[in-house]
Each structure stands twice: as structure tokens, then as C-alpha cells.
Structure 1
Amino acid sequence: MKKKILWTGRYENYSLGSFQKDVMSGVIVGVIAIPLGMSFAIASGVDPEYGLYTTIIAGILISLFGGSKYQIGGPTGAFIPILFGIVTTYGFENLLIAGFMAGILLVLMGIFKLGGLIKFIPKPVTIGFTSGIAVTIFAGQIPSFLGLTDVEKHESFIRNMKEIAIHFDSLNFYSILTAGICLVTMLYTPKLFPKIPGPLIGLLFSTIIAAVFYPGQVATIGSTYGGIPNTLPKFVFPDLTWERVQLLIQPAFVIAILGAIESLLSAVVADGMTNSKHNSNRELVGQGIANMVTPLFGGIPATGAIARTATNIKNGAASPISGVIHGVVVLLVLLLFAPYTSKIPLASTASILMVVAWNMSERHVFYHVLKTKTEDSFVLLITFLLTVFVNLTVAVEVGLVLAVILFTKRMSDIMVTEKALPNPNNKHEKVESHIVSDTHDCPQISIYNVEGPLFFGAAQSFEQTIMKTINYKPRVLLLRMGRVPFMDTTGESYFLSIVKNFSKNGVVLISGIQSQPKEVLIKTGLYEFIGEEHFFDHTGEAINYALKYLKKDQCLGCKHFAFRECETFSGLKKNKDETRAMSTT
């Protein structure tokens, strides 16, 4: 029997066999992360070694301090448009500061337990900006894939497309061949050899072909960025000033929000694959620590990587140790083989990023939401287009605002306020709205079925419907609120207006009110103003109470017969009894 090392939490029942699984999965994921780390860094507008530094430091820290057993952290494709925009606008040094500030924000989000709030971001928004990012990444790699020269990179998608068109005549056949070899190798390697990482094999094979058969004919990492140093990064604390904090707070906030979304989505995917459960707030703290430390060594912002996390799980990872080993593997490769990376063609890294973009595009989900032709389709499309043609910040802001507005409209549409009366054909005399008519409606008691959340989006409609009753001044207003699950302060304000106006000439009764709306009324004092004796658990009790307020002289001759007592009040029953007595005599 194997001797087990008993740790608590994520390392409970950890054994030598578990460690062996972690080593195997960590090595495989580490090998996969090397070309991705360099490619993401290049696409983000920084030197490739910074991608490796991020993979090493952030990968280790996210595994150690995060809230998921299987999360693999590092640079990801989702950050590319944001980081490139920050580098272009503010410079590399300010990118590091923005990343450091984002780390602080992530830690605060975890400490204040905001991890659960990420789930409230609508899926059309996340799918929209993820697909938009994928298009941006894919389009950004076209120049390197085609080997175009003198192409200037811009933040604007349209300007980048114009650059491709202008310089299309500089197309390089060798670059296309190299990219094609890498692409085909990458796609077919997993089918032939499932355990071998396709991106690494594609990168190695295409690099060897280019170096042996047509050296100097394609742009490489070395010819474009210089050699990658095989040394550890230096520690440098960023020059933080209040002016820089003010300048970079918006990009830092965007990095933090996107990092939180990506990492928690990745953790959810890991939960689904392993039947485990992550700690979302701890995950945010871990992401924050990683993003605070990584910039001190020149690393770019990092988050949870869904594809690498899934690969980690598929290869048998048992604990966060696999993520630590993945970082150590990248570190060893950096120290031992960094000089050889200068020969890697940019066309090969372009192929890798194009596949990443294709895989992250969520094209099936995108089409599924789009074909529903609902408000969600509109939010999805707007978020997607703004991500591609404007920027991610605007896209997320507009997408969220649109989603909130449309959600508010939906909620207000389901708010129902209808007049109702007991149904005499129902043996329980259930109070229903469809039986009210011009000839069957009590002039002195108005009963309303109120259904749906009474919040800012529906409160005014609720008030306007009720206020129509006041025009003919009934004696009693009975509101059946058993199906009102929620009331906000705006709803309470309109509710107060109804009560005050109606109380001048009559009495307001409430039946079946739920706990949350009742608590709101108690806190604002409206419960006391209405009077505790005017609240009832059941509508029948409220109706019996309401009948006491009827002016009997107004009931004489009434033919509405809204309640079973109406025959007596109207005098009809008395007349019937007298007629029966006379006929008997």
C-alpha cells in the first residue's frame, strides 16, 4: 500500500502517484505553453521573452494561490487587443504599471467577495467580445502569415485591413509555405499522435524546414526582435505616481475585469470536467497576486487559460502542483534553449495564433444565439461589432448597458396589474381577473392581482394602472401581492403615492405580501402607515374585512353581484324572500 501525504484542501489524499500524474501533465502543458507564450507576447506588441516570463511567474503563482485545483495561468489570446492598445497608446512601461494596478483590483475583488458577481455578466456579452477578440487576433496575424513587409500595426481594425491591402504586393511565398507547414502539422499531429502537443511540433517542423531549405527568406523572431536572453528577468519596481494611476486606471480596470471573467470561466470549465468546485474569490486573489508580481519582472498581464487548463486535466493533473511544474518546465527551456528560439519564423507563430483565434471564436454558440433573433441576438451583434471596429472597453460597456436595458424591459413587460373578483363558478371562489367586466365589477371594492417584481422598470406602469381606480373613488383598494417577489425603493415610492392618494377617501388592504417587499415597507415606515391590521395572509380574510366598509345604501339595487353577499346587500334576497312568502300565503 502506497504511503500517502495527507494535506488539507486541494492537496487532500495527495500521494506519490498523484505527483507522478502532476509531473506528466505539467511537462506536457509547459511544452505547449512555450510557443503560445511567445506568440501572445509578439501579438501584444512586446518582445517574445516577456511572454515566457509571464508564463513562468504567473503560471506558478496562479496555481499556488488560486482557487482552482487545475487552473493553468499565463498570457492568453483574450488580452491581445487590450495589451496592444495599451502599448501603442501608453508604452511598455505603463503596460506593466497597468498590469500591476489590475492585480491590486483583482485582489480587492476577491477580498470583497465579488467573484460570484461575474456570473451575472450576460452570455451574449461574453460571447460577443470573445468572438470579436478572435476576429481581431486572426486578422492581426495575416501580415505575418503572408510575409508582408513594412506593415504598420494599428489599434483600428479598418486601418490594419488597409495596411494589408496597401502592402499586399510584398507577399512572400516562402512565408506562406512556412505558415502552411506549421498549420497542417499542428492540425494533424493530435489526430495521429494525441499525446504530442501539436503547436510545438508544428513550430519545430516549420522552423527546421525554413532554416534548412530557404534560410534568410522569412522573417524570424531573431531578425525582428533580436535573440531571446537565456537569463532570468530582472526585478524592477514600477515608477508609480498619482498622475500615472489616474492615467492608467481605466485600462487597469479593463484588464482586471477581463482577467476575472476569463479566469473564472476557465475554472468553471475545469469544474465541469472534473466534477470539482473552485473558490471564485480565492481565484481572484490568486490572479491578483500573480498580476502584481509578474510586472515586477517584465511580465505582461495573465489570466486562466481555458485550453491549457483543459489539456492539464486531460493529461491526468491531480493538484495545483501540475501548474507549478508547467512554469518550471518553461523556465528550464528558457535557460537552456533560448538562443535557438531566434530562428522561429513569425509565419509559424501567426499560424498558431490563428488556430487559437479559431478555437476561441465560440462560432457555434455565436450562431446559435444569433439565429434566435431575440434581444440577446442584438446585444451579441452590437458587442461583437464594437469589439472589432472600436475597442473592447466600449464593447463591454455598451453591451452591458444594452443587456441591462433589455432585461429591465423584459421584467417590466411581465409585471401584471389586473382587476380581479372571486369566481362564483369555482368552488373555492378563486380570485381571477378574466371575470371582471363592465356589468360585473364592484363599484366600492377594487381588487387587483399584482404579479412580477415591483422595481424601477415597472413601478410607474403599476401606479398608473391603479390610479385609474381613484377616479371613481371606491371605498376599498385590495392589492393581492402574493406574486410580487421583489420591491425596490422606486417601487416603494410609487406604492407610497398610491397609498397616500387612496387613503384620503378609502382604505388600502394588502394580502399575501412576501417577505422581501414586506421588509422594504417596514424599513420605510409605509407598513406602519398602512396599518398592520390592513395586512392579511389570505385574500378571503381581506375581502371579509373590506365588506365592513361598504356603504349599504349604495348597494341597494346594485346588479353587479361581485361577491356572494351582494344579493343580501342589494336587497334582492329580501325581495325574493318576500315573494316566496307571499306565494306561500
Structure 2
Amino acid sequence: MVAPTREPTFAEQFTPKLVTILREGYGLAGLKADALAGLTVAIVALPLSMAIAIASGVTPDRGLYTAIVGGFMVSALGGSRFQIGGPAGAFIVLVAATVEQHGVDGLILATMLSGLILLVVGFLRLGTFIKYIPYPVTVGFTSGIAIIILASQFKELLGLTLPGKEPGPFIPKLEALGAALPTINVAAVGVAALSIGIIIALRRFRPHWPGFLIAVGLASVLTWLFGLPVETIGTRFGGIPQTLPAPHLPDLSPEKISAVLPAALSFALLGGIESLLSAVVADSMTGRRHRSNSELVGQGVANVASALFGGFCVTGTIARTATNVRTGARGPVSGMLHAVFLFLFMLVAAPLASYIPLAGLAAVLAVVAWNMAEKHQFAVLIRASRGDAIVLLATFLLVVFRDLTEGIIVGFGIGALLFLHRMAQAVEIEGSRLIVEPDLPDTINGNGRKPYDVALATDPDVVVYRISGAFFFGAAASVAAALDRIGEHPKAYVIDFSAVPVVDSTAAATIQGFARQARRHGAAVYLAGARPAIRRVLLTHGVRPPLVRFRSTLSDALSAAHRKADGAQDTDPAPAKVA
């Protein structure tokens, strides 16, 4: 048995990753790499921040304030090495509804309160509970948000003129847009189509070029050069300022706080989920581990600071964080420099922003929404099982037609009920608690039997792990953490599934992520003893050869792993039919 791990101290849980990086030694080479990554992310964030702000019902400068102030604080105080903070498309629906109900002052107050809530959640060490959000819920609400964002951009994409204010609810919005179709602006459609075409073409043929900025820049030049009759930032908002405003507190009256508190709770819930999901994505790309509670504390401070400077909700942004990793960032300094570069852009180029056509910014958000939709994952979950499909569709439909927070809560509730049903079906299986531990030659399992022949466990190039009990979304984080703690890089891994009664989509995604990481290190992964139902779930989610190889028994898997470690050619046996 593995000795119980020591509980991390308060300082270990809440020390920002910036401090960790500086303690490890931070030199000129790291600064150069972070400066290049920060500049690249800033170029991506510049048009995106303004587009998200406009779609959220506020002026574009508030999107820049959010990215500059909030983004700097997220990187300086957060628990992830690579997190990039700023305004996120996921918040557009909530922010727009809050502005409509409580005005911009109410939005700023709700942002500040959400920051205080995140601080409390982080210091109470509740960040680890985010892992209990089922995978179908995250896919459902992300896809639902994508649909709503896309619908919100049709007005600008088509240059429509609405007789009144654009409705917020989905169906009335579509009805209003349909009624306004006779007012379509051909020039706006052309600008939007050109911008989308440029973004798609650059993503395919020049993926390292800043497609968003190039598309918006060319659209702005053409609009100015030919005097196109389309709305721009200048015609609607009068441009953007060249500096940050002085910090100030919003209205803190008890009546106002009480009115915006539900919105603040929604901001905090969505912000916590989005930021920790983004940190997990960065971990999977780099092999690092973030500190979830420290990350929530950093997000809390960032939201309070953003509100003081007139910004709105800040969270970790998955696309910008992934860009930060891909461009070679070494640590949080890249995120801090991304905020500095954005400030310099605003300082120098603010007058030019007046020429940016709103159709071009709408094109940016349309592409973002398309990429957010998680189409492949949605289709996989629909086919995976009836339970996952129910959770996914309930979350998705409620997010689109009702309310984002309601969708998350109902989806989580249905997921919890389905989990209880699955556990009721597995009560005859001994050991409902998940145990992940390396099997050493002298290890005795809970039934007093050695898990496999001692002679098969003597190869140091093969690591064997046993998973016992129900492997589901609540246990997936524990499995991922245990697998990530493997310090060495053997030639083969064997994961014993013989004592696992049930898996879900989150578990399958966890095994898939581990197998991809092992493959990058040149190691083979063998799954032993998986029952037909479990193998079917794994295969549905892409856990299949050549990423992993299945064997019926632990002995067969160990023999194949030893042959792989010795350099022999591995051949798969005839595949067993899975019902």
C-alpha cells in the first residue's frame, strides 16, 4: 500500500505560481520566452476583448480594462503557471442580462461581489469541489453559450436595423431578427464574410499568424478606404480612451447589493468553473499541476480590481491560455506582460479603434462561438449512454432557452441522480471507494491475495496501476492526480480495470488524457481486465488502439508490456466483440 500523502500546508496551497517560478530561478531566457508569448496573446486578446464587451452590452473600452487589470492580477496571484485571464465569451449572456436589469453600475458591483465570493470560496478550500461538475454538464453549457453568442451576433453580421432594443431571450431574439431581415446591409455582410474568410484561411494555412487581428485590421482599412456604410466603434461609441480610468468604488448601498447578489453568485459560479477548466487544459498540455484554491483566490482579487477600474467579470480563458502555452510561455510573467502589451496598444493606437467595423468584431465572435461549440464531444456524449445524453441535453436546452445558472444546477442534479442509480446497480461490488495505487511485488490487496504473479512484476520499465471501485466524474480528478505523480518515464504502463464496476465519460476522458501524455514520452499503455460495458464506454470516447491496447487479463497485459519494454514488436490479438 502507498503511504498516505501529507496534507498540504496553508502556504503550499495559496502561494501564487509566480512566487514558485521566481524561487526556482528566473533568468533572461525565461523573460524572452514569456515576452514573446505575452505579445502573441495580447494580439489575440485585443480585438476579442472589445468584441466580448460590445456583445455584453457595454462599451469596448471596458473589455480592455478587464483584460488589462484583471488579466494582470490573474497571472500575478493565481495558482496556474500559464493561465491568461480576461473577459470570456461564456459571460456574455450573464453580463448582458445584468446590464439590462441593473445598469453598468450594477454590473460593476456584481463583479466586485463575485470577486469577494471567489476569495471566500478559495480560502475555505472549496476549489476542489469543482471536480464534481460532470463532463456532460460542461459540454452542455459550453455548447449552449456558443449558440447564444452566435445568435447575438446576427444583428451586426447582417447589419440589421431593429425598431427597438434587441430582446435577450433566445426565441424573441430570433423573431426580432427575422422581422428585421428586410433591413439587411450588404456592406456589413461583405465585411463580416471577408473577416470570417480571412480568419479561417489563416487558421488553415498560417496558423501561427494572428488571424483575429489581421481580419479586423483589414476590415477597418477597407471600411475607411472605401467609406463603407457600416457601423464602427467610432460611430456607435465615439472611440475608446487612451488610458485607464482612476479606480473608484461602485454604489455599495444595501439595496443595490441585495439586487445584484444573484448575478454575483452566477458570476462566481461560472467564473470558478471556467477558470479551473482552463487551468486543467493548461495542465494537460504541459504536465504541470495548478493549485485550485490559489487560482480561485487570484480570480477573486482580479474581479475586485477589475471592478475598481470599471471592468467586468474576469476568468481564465481557455483559448488564450492554450495560445500562451503553444507559444512557449515559461510562467505567469507571460500573462502579466500580455496585460502590459494591451495597455501599450490602448495608449498608442486608441484613435485607430474608431475605424473598426462592428461587423468585423462580430465575425471574430462568430468564429469564437463556432470553436466553443464542442461539436465532436456533443455528438460523442449523445451516443455514449442514455444517462449522459439526458444530462447533456437538459443542460444545453435550459442554457439556451431558460438560464445559464439554471442549466448548470439542473444538469448537475440529474447527473447526481444518475450516479446514485449507477452506484445502486454496483452495490454487490466490494469497495465503493476508489483506490489508485502502484502494485509492487510484495503488495497484498484487500482480499488477502497478491494481485499478480511476483515474477511478472520485476521489470523496472513497466509500471502497473490498479483502479478499484467506481470510476466516475467525482473520482476522475483523484485518478488523474495519482497518475500524474508518476515521476519516472517507463516504457510501458499497465492499468488494471478488473475491479472497476462502472466508468463514465469523465473517466474515459481522464484515461485518454493520460494515454496521450504517455504516448508523448514514448510509452505504451495497456488496459487489462476491462469488462465489455466498460470497454464500450472507453472505445466510444476514443480510448482505442493505437492510443491504448486492451488485454483480457492482467497477466496477458504484463506479458505484452514486458515484450514492449524489451523492444519486441507488439501485435494486437484478434479483437473481442464488444456488445
What TM-score, normalized by structure 1, do the two folds share? Answer: 0.69
Q: What's the offset of the Cα at 1:280?
A: 0.6
Partner of 2:86: 74
Given that 1:69 and 1:278 are in contact with CA atoms closer than 8 Å, whether structure 2 keeps it comes out as yes
> Within 1, Cα distance between the matches of 2:420 and 2:374?
27
Q: What's the offset of the Cα at 1:209?
A: 1.2
Letter aligned with residue 413 of structure 1: Q
Partner of 2:28: 16
Partner of 1:329: 341
Given that 2:162 and 2:176 are in contact with CA atoms closer than 8 Å, whether structure 1 keeps it comes out as no
Partner of 1:226: 238
Counterpart of 1:187 (choices 195, 200, 213) is 200
Letter aligned with residue 10 of structure 1: I
Q: What's the offset of the Cα at 1:373?
A: 3.9
* CA separation of 1:231 and 1:272: change in aligned 2, threshold 3 A: same
Is 2:248 aligned against 1:236?
yes
Partner of 1:173: 186
> Within 1, Cα distance between the matches of 2:103 and 2:417?
37
SS of alignment partner, residue 14 of structure 1: coil
Is 2:27 aligned against 1:48?
no
> Within 2, Cα distance between the matches of 1:296 and 1:315?
31
Counterpart of 1:105 (choices 117, 125, 138) is 117
> Within 2, Cα distance between the matches of 1:124 and 1:86?
27
Given that 1:189 and 1:201 are in contact with CA atoms closer than 8 Å, whether structure 2 keeps it comes out as no
Deviates more, 1:169-178 or 1:204-213: 204-213
Letter aligned with residue 218 of structure 2: F
Given that 1:54 and 1:294 are in contact with CA atoms closer than 8 Å, whether structure 2 keeps it comes out as yes
Given that 2:162 and 2:177 are in contact with CA atoms closer than 8 Å, whether structure 1 keeps it comes out as no
Letter aligned with residue 196 of structure 1: W
Partner of 2:379: 367
> Within 1, Cα distance between the matches of 2:295 and 2:402?
30
Letter aligned with residue 328 of structure 2: G
Letter aligned with residue 22 of structure 1: D
Counterpart of 1:405 (choices 411, 417, 430) is 417
CA deviation map 1:502-539 (0-9, x unaligned): xxxxxxxxxxxxxxxxxxxxxxxxxxxxxxxxxxxxxx
CA deviation map 1:427-449 (0-9, x unaligned): xxx9xxxxxxxxxxxxxxxxxxx
Q: What's the offset of the Cα at 1:216?
A: 4.5
CA deviation map 1:278-303 (0-9, x unaligned): 11110000000000111111101010
Partner of 2:321: 309
Partner of 1:203: 216
Counterpart of 2:368 (choices 336, 356, 359) is 356
Letter aligned with residue 133 of structure 2: I
Partner of 2:561: none
> Within 1, Cα distance between the matches of 2:136 and 2:429?
31
Given that 2:187 and 2:228 are in contact with CA atoms closer than 8 Å, whether structure 1 keeps it comes out as no
Is 2:276 aligned against 1:264?
yes
Partner of 1:37: 49
Is 2:299 aligned against 1:287?
yes
Given that 2:243 and 2:343 are in contact with CA atoms closer than 8 Å, whether structure 1 keeps it comes out as no
Give the greater-gyration-radius structure (CA): 1
Counterpart of 1:380 (choices 392, 396, 403) is 392
Deviates more, 1:408-417 or 1:335-344: 408-417
Which aligned pairs between 1:472-483 and structure 2 lie closer than 5 A?
A: none
> Within 2, Cα distance between the matches of 1:244 and 1:127?
34
Partner of 1:159: 172
Q: What's the offset of the Cα at 1:406?
A: 1.8
CA deviation map 1:179-216 (0-9, x unaligned): 01111111112333333210000000111112112x14
> Within 2, Cα distance between the matches of 1:405 and 1:380?
14
> Within 2, Cα distance between the matches of 1:335 and 1:87?
27
How many percent identity over aligned positions? 43
Given that 1:127 and 1:362 are in contact with CA atoms closer than 8 Å, whether structure 2 keeps it comes out as yes
> Within 1, Cα distance between the matches of 2:93 and 2:377?
22
* CA separation of 1:83 and 1:417: change in aligned 2, threshold 3 A: closer
Partner of 1:343: 355
> Within 2, Cα distance between the matches of 1:167 and 1:400?
38
In structure 2, the gaps of 5 or more residues are 1-17, 431-446, 448-468, 471-498, 502-579
> Within 2, Cα distance between the matches of 1:342 and 1:268?
37
SS of alignment partner, residue 208 of structure 2: coil
Q: What's the offset of the Cα at 1:8?
A: 5.7
> Within 2, Cα distance between the matches of 1:235 and 1:94?
16
Which aligned pairs between 1:388-537 and structure 2 lie closer than 5 A?
A: 388-416=400-428
CA deviation map 1:244-303 (0-9, x unaligned): 222222111111111011111111111111111111110000000000111111101010
Counterpart of 2:156 (choices 122, 139, 144) is 144
> Within 2, Cα distance between the matches of 1:90 and 1:65?
30
Is 2:140 aligned against 1:131?
no
Letter aligned with residue 25 of structure 1: A
Letter aligned with residue 207 of structure 1: S
Q: What's the offset of the Cα at 1:230?
A: 1.2
Letter aligned with residue 407 of structure 1: F
Q: Show structure 1 runs of 4+ deviating over 6 A.
A: none
Given that 2:232 and 2:356 are in contact with CA atoms closer than 8 Å, whether structure 1 keeps it comes out as yes
Partner of 1:245: 257
> Within 1, Cα distance between the matches of 2:19 and 2:409?
41
Q: What's the offset of the Cα at 1:156?
A: 0.3
In structure 1, the gaps of 5 or more residues are 1-6, 419-429, 431-451, 454-482, 486-585
Q: What's the offset of the Cα at 1:393?
A: 1.5
CA deviation map 1:305-336 (0-9, x unaligned): 11101111111111111111100111011111
SS of alignment partner, residue 177 of structure 1: helix
> Within 2, Cα distance between the matches of 1:357 and 1:324?
26
**Matched residues, number:** 417
SS of alignment partner, residue 91 of structure 1: helix
Letter aligned with residue 350 of structure 1: A
Given that 2:139 and 2:377 are in contact with CA atoms closer than 8 Å, whether structure 1 keeps it comes out as yes
**Superposition RMSD in Å:** 2.1
> Within 2, Cα distance between the matches of 1:88 and 1:410?
43
Q: What's the offset of the Cα at 1:416?
A: 4.5
Given that 2:39 and 2:337 are in contact with CA atoms closer than 8 Å, whether structure 1 keeps it comes out as yes
Deviates more, 1:101-110 or 1:8-17: 8-17
Partner of 1:298: 310
> Within 2, Cα distance between the matches of 1:358 and 1:417?
43
Letter aligned with residue 193 of structure 1: R
* CA separation of 1:417 and 1:354: change in aligned 2, threshold 3 A: closer
